[in-house]
Amino acid sequence: MAGSLRHSAYLLAAAVLLSTAHGQLTGENARKGSTYSIGVGKADITGPAADVNLMGYAAPGQLAAGIHTRLYARAYVIGDAQEERKRFVFVNLDACMASQGVTLTELYGDLYTEKNVALSGIHTHSGPGGYLQYILYIITSLGFVRESFDVLVAGIVQAIKRAHEDVKPGMLQVTAGELLDANANRSPTAYLANPPEERARYKHNTDKSMTLLKVLDTEERGRGAVTWFPVHCTSINNTNSLISGDNKGVAAQFLEGWAAGAGQADANGNDTMGSNFVGAFGQANVGDTSPNVLGAFCYDTGEPCEKEHSTCNGRNEMCIGRGPAWEADDYGYKSNEIIARRQSDEAIELWQSAATPISGDIDYRHAFLDMSAITVYPSNYTRAGRTCRAAMGFSFAAGTTDGPGAFDFKQGDTEGTIFWRVVSHFLKDPSTEQIACQAPKPILLDTGSVHVPYEWQPTIVEIQILRVGQLVILCVPGELTTMAGRRLREAVHQQVEGVWGSDVTVVLAGLTNTYSSYVTTFEEYAMQRYEGASTIFGPHTLDAYIQEFLRLSKAMMENKATEPGPRPPNMISKQWSFLTPVVLDSVPSGSHFGAVTEDVLPVVYKEGDKVRAVFQSACPRNNVRLEGTFLTVERQDPEDSDKWELVYTDSDVSTKYHWARPHVLSPESTATITWDIPEGTLSGTYRLRHFGDFKHILGGPAPFNGTSGNFEVHGLDVKPHKHHKHDDNRHKFELSDWERYVREHSFLIPVFLFALLLLGTVLYRQTVSRRPAVSSHPYERLEVAA
Ligand SMILES: *[C@@H]1O[C@H](CO)[C@@H](O)[C@H](O)[C@H]1NC(C)=O
Ligand SMILES: *[C@@H]1O[C@H](CO)[C@@H](O)[C@H](O)[C@H]1NC(C)=O
Ligand SMILES: *[C@@H]1O[C@H](CO)[C@@H](O)[C@H](O)[C@H]1NC(C)=O
Ligand SMILES: *[C@@H]1O[C@H](CO)[C@@H](O)[C@H](O)[C@H]1NC(C)=O
Ligand SMILES: [Zn+2]
């Protein structure tokens, strides 16, 4: 701790020196903005595409089985042009959230540490899970999934390295605009609990403003962009099995595609975009937002749901939000593309409109907070109170209209309710003090009081402020609701504008560095809808964050160091894992890995058609093919029939890689590759290829590949033809009813084994050591438990 303080003192000294050196801007600088040291980098973080529970909906049966789009880490190093140590890194992750288990060490010495690196999740609900360190967040993934975690860490490090190596002089601009049709409030009745005077100041019940940070080189050519806009990445629903970046991941691909494409020339015909443009869509105060903008309707009757509780006939599992293309019945892929397109179109429009050049100092503050015991003092922005040990309320089990699930457990659903009631019963009954502290929340899971086999939810979280000139990024460790985010941003804005100018832009980066569920306003908390029930540190959670953020921003304004705060436990080494490894892969006799079992059709395809081929395959967990692909779409060189040009990979929105086993215990598997031929596809001869790695009973995985027959694609002027519509989920195996039943329910066996083990351990601890938990130090408690 002393070391850290000395470190801060050193930084402080450096900061004071620099602020004097760069105190005055020349007239030129003020107009064009300051020159900064800037680097951008992107790396693949796509984890295991089979067997692993997808993170977010917490639906135990929702296991990965292929890829829609790859997931990426996009890193932005932003630093002072003169002083190398004065820099920060913003990393946007196509992950559900950042994991506290990821800690940076030894990356370019101590140039990048937890203090100046922000890891922010976009909140996709279609990425492989199991990489968080707290039990509640990894129950449905059968505990910790090392494969997910390792890929995430490797990708983050790779992205930061690339950004670091890309550092060169550049400039920044910031602008904002309104995007009306890409989010809706999914808890509008809780929003209405906020004071009318406060609500009257805002036109909408979600934030509609998208902020865009433009990253430019010194010639003002584009190098990258980051946007912040609040919308849940739940466009793709909770029965999907393909890995996807959901609406923000796809929006990033659209923006990067636009930047790389033709038509970006200026009046002189010069390219206005540099190569390797990195565009990120960051999450903001996402808590009560939904991409299902048409509202929530009853699945059976088609009537709007009852508003107060989001129920149909008194039950909530039938109340489902509708995306713009809900009728497509395609797991939400079409709606996803629409919500993605709306965000990328807005970003492009903002890119092309006037923006404010950024000039001024670079700075950052970071603090760990023990959220179980913060005293909140009354102020213009906060009411007096105190925070509580973590606990989840009953409505947490009800889920949301984005899909029952999302630590989103179904209410009324037999497994969900019984499961959580049983868990709740075996966990400690909350103390009277805890009940009073969390009131009016009825406590379902008193997670903050259980420390066996290890922590269930965080006690220590982190907050962080990054500043470059007029742009201030507030990094929050969870999902703030619309009004909660507004209060926090406004408090900081009002505090700093006097010193940094009224043109300061304060943005909020959600799900950053640590995940600790939701944060509502005090008034919304009283409603105890899903978000209030999931506000784990009690009614004063938001006010505690406001108080602590104001403390950090004040210190930043006054060039003072701040206390680092208590360190959270790192529990990665003591994680429980129950996901079974891949034993071996095999093929039916006479076949081979990569053999085409169903070829493309002998027809001429056109734009809008789906091409499909099925290959004999192996488990994708053998090799996640990081920065590689499980499939390619290739086009034959019209001049040279031996040459094939790569057109698409498994990361492109137009391709899908579906992986399937005939039954859970089978070593055989197939890969179904589909390609939805996009508009503007060149005529020619094409083929699909599949790549994978199979595992022998002895020895490591070996690569294989397979190639479909060639097929022709013609433009729209070609005579239309008819061919069979493919069903994406169909595979060649015909299952008996019994096999289907086993297949559909077998995931429950390991989930219940895991739950049973957990409960056994908890029960054992409860009976063996009935010692009162007097220690408030997390390490001590963990040692007692170990
Ligand atoms: C842009 O084009 C003009 C005219 O062709 C040329 O003089 C100028 O150098 C170009 N600028 C850059 C940055 O390439
Ligand atoms: C998800 O999409 C599938 C396919 O369109 C559909 O069958 C299912 O009912 C949807 N589930 C939810 C919760 O919307
Ligand atoms: C609180 O608000 C009042 C009224 O707007 C203002 O006069 C006062 O300066 C504020 N106090 C602080 C500490 O910001
Ligand atoms: C595909 O497999 C063949 C046969 O094993 C191998 O020779 C070839 O190099 C592979 N191609 C690629 C692109 O991996
Ligand atoms: Zn969420």
Please write the tens of the pLDDT for every residue from 764-780.
655 544 433 333 332 22
Q: What is the DSSP letter of 195?
A: -
219 close to ligand 1 (CB < 6 Angstrom)? yes
> Is there a domain that residue 584 lies in?
no
* Residue that wins the pLDDT comparison between 272 and 146: 146
The 10s digit of each residue's pLDDT in 655-668 is: 999 999 998 889 99
pLDDT in the model for residue 777: 31
**Hey, what are 304's tokens?**
């709007």
> Is there a domain that residue 13 lies in?
yes
Mutate which of 244, 300, 329, 658 for ligand 2 pocket (most atoms within 8 A of beta carbon)? 329
pLDDT in the model for residue 403: 65
* Residue that wins the pLDDT comparison between 393 and 69: 69
319 close to ligand 2 (CB < 6 Angstrom)? no
* 525 and 620 co-located in one domain: no
pLDDT in the model for residue 346: 98
* 462 and 533 co-located in one domain: yes
* 128 and 25 co-located in one domain: yes
Of 13-22, 95-104, 232-241, where does the model show the most confidence?
Answer: 232-241
- Please state, in angstroms and rounded to a whole number, the distance separating the CA atoms of residues 460 and 475: 15
Mutate which of 186, 232, 237 for ligand 2 pocket (most atoms within 8 A of beta carbon)? 237
- Out of 98-112, 195-209, 503-517, 577-591, pick the least confident: 98-112
**Ligand 1 centroid from CA 270, angstroms:** 6
* 617 and 504 co-located in one domain: no
**Ligand 5 centroid from CA 81, angstroms:** 38
Q: Is 294 exposed, middle or buried (0-12, 13-18, 19+ CB in 10 A)?
A: middle
* 368 and 254 co-located in one domain: yes
Residues 6+ apart with CB under 8 A from 619: 50, 51, 582, 585, 659, 669, 694, 695
pLDDT in the model for residue 20: 34
267 close to ligand 1 (CB < 6 Angstrom)? no
Among 733, 753, 776, give the residue marking a domain's end: 733
| Residue of 290, 424, 516, 534 marked catalytic | 290
* 564 and 651 co-located in one domain: no
> Is there a domain that residue 280 lies in?
yes
Q: Residue 396: pLDDT above 90?
A: no
Q: Residue 242: pLDDT above 80?
A: yes
- Please state, in angstroms and rounded to a whole number, the distance separating the CA atoms of residues 564 and 551: 12
Closest ligand 1 atom to 221 CA: 13
331 close to ligand 2 (CB < 6 Angstrom)? yes
Residue 263's region, left for phi above 0, alpha for psi from -120 to 50, else beta, is left
* 211 and 254 co-located in one domain: yes
* Residue that wins the pLDDT comparison between 7 and 638: 638
> Is there a domain that residue 581 lies in?
no
239 close to ligand 2 (CB < 6 Angstrom)? yes
Among 733, 751, 780, give the residue marking a domain's end: 733
Domain count, the chain: 2
Mean pLDDT on 242-258: 97
**Hey, what are 2's tokens?**
């002393």
What pLDDT band is residue 157 in, cutting at 50, 70 and 90? Answer: very high
**Ligand 1 centroid from CA 268, angstroms:** 7
* 567 and 617 co-located in one domain: no
**Ligand 4 centroid from CA 660, angstroms:** 23
- Please state, in angstroms and rounded to a whole number, the distance separating the CA atoms of residues 482 and 204: 10
268 close to ligand 1 (CB < 6 Angstrom)? yes
* 557 and 666 co-located in one domain: no
645 close to ligand 1 (CB < 6 Angstrom)? no
* 719 and 652 co-located in one domain: yes
What pLDDT band is residue 7 in, cutting at 50, 70 and 90? Answer: very low
| C-alpha torsion 122→220→161→46, nearest 10 | 30
pTM (two decimals): 0.88
What pLDDT band is residue 748 in, cutting at 50, 70 and 90? Answer: low
* 189 and 72 co-located in one domain: yes
The 10s digit of each residue's pLDDT in 161-172 is: 999 999 999 999
Starting from the CA of residue 292, give the closest ligand. 2
313 close to ligand 1 (CB < 6 Angstrom)? no
Q: Residue 729: pLDDT above 50?
A: no
- Please state, in angstroms and rounded to a whole number, the distance separating the CA atoms of residues 235 and 320: 12
What pLDDT band is residue 727 in, cutting at 50, 70 and 90? Answer: very low
Q: Residue 781: pLDDT above 60?
A: no
Helix, strand or coil for residue 394?
helix
> Is there a domain that residue 481 lies in?
yes
Q: Residue 634: pLDDT above 60?
A: yes
Q: Residue 18: pLDDT above 60?
A: no
Among 733, 761, 780, give the residue marking a domain's end: 733
Closest ligand 2 atom to 329 CA: 5
* Residue that wins the pLDDT comparison between 179 and 262: 179
- Out of 187-191, 237-241, 292-296, 414-418, pick the least confident: 414-418
| Residue nearest to ligand 2 atom 14, measured at CA | 237
Which residues constitute the domain of residue 56?
2-375+456-574
The 10s digit of each residue's pLDDT in 44-77 is: 999 999 999 999 988 888 999 999 999 999 999 9
pLDDT in the model for residue 270: 75
The 10s digit of each residue's pLDDT in 123-150 is: 999 999 999 999 999 988 999 999 999 9
Mean pLDDT of the chain: 86
Q: Residue 427: pLDDT above 90?
A: no
**Hey, what are 252's tokens?**
């990033």
> Crossing angle of helices 246-260/333-352, nearest 10°?
50
Closest ligand 2 atom to 328 CA: 5
pLDDT in the model for residue 324: 97
> Is there a domain that residue 407 lies in?
no
The pairing of beta strand 644-649 with beta strand 631-636: antiparallel
Q: Residue 720: pLDDT above 70?
A: no
Query: 688 near 705, Cβ under 8 Å?
Result: no
pLDDT in the model for residue 106: 72
Q: Residue 561: pLDDT above 60?
A: yes
pLDDT in the model for residue 426: 66
> Is there a domain that residue 777 lies in?
no
Residues 6+ apart with CB under 8 A from 195: 523
- Please state, in angstroms and rounded to a whole number, the distance separating the CA atoms of residues 327 and 347: 27
Q: What is the largest CA-CA distance in the chain?
A: 80
* 175 and 229 co-located in one domain: yes
- Out of 193-207, 499-513, 523-537, 707-721, pick the least confident: 707-721
pLDDT in the model for residue 13: 36
* Residue that wins the pLDDT comparison between 736 and 495: 495
Of 141-145, 551-555, 741-745, where does the model show the most confidence?
Answer: 551-555
Q: Residue 763: pLDDT above 90?
A: no
Question: Which DSSP string do the residues of 617-642 spell out, in sequence order?
Answer: E--GGG---TTS-SEEEEEE-SS-TT
| Residue nearest to ligand 1 atom 9, measured at CA | 270
> Is there a domain that residue 43 lies in?
yes
Question: Which DSSP string do the residues of 463-493 spell out, in sequence order?
Answer: EEEEEETTEEEEE-SSEE-HHHHHHHHHHHH
- The percentage of the chain sitting over the pLDDT mark of 70, rounded to a whole number, equals 84
Let me know if 586 is a catalytic residue.
no
Mean pLDDT on 677-702: 93
The 10s digit of each residue's pLDDT in 274-316 is: 789 999 999 999 999 999 999 999 888 999 988 877 888 777 7
What pLDDT band is residue 737 in, cutting at 50, 70 and 90? Answer: low
pLDDT in the model for residue 746: 55
> CATH code at 725?
2.60.40.2300
Closest ligand 2 atom to 239 CA: 1
Query: 37 near 89, Cβ under 8 Å?
Result: no
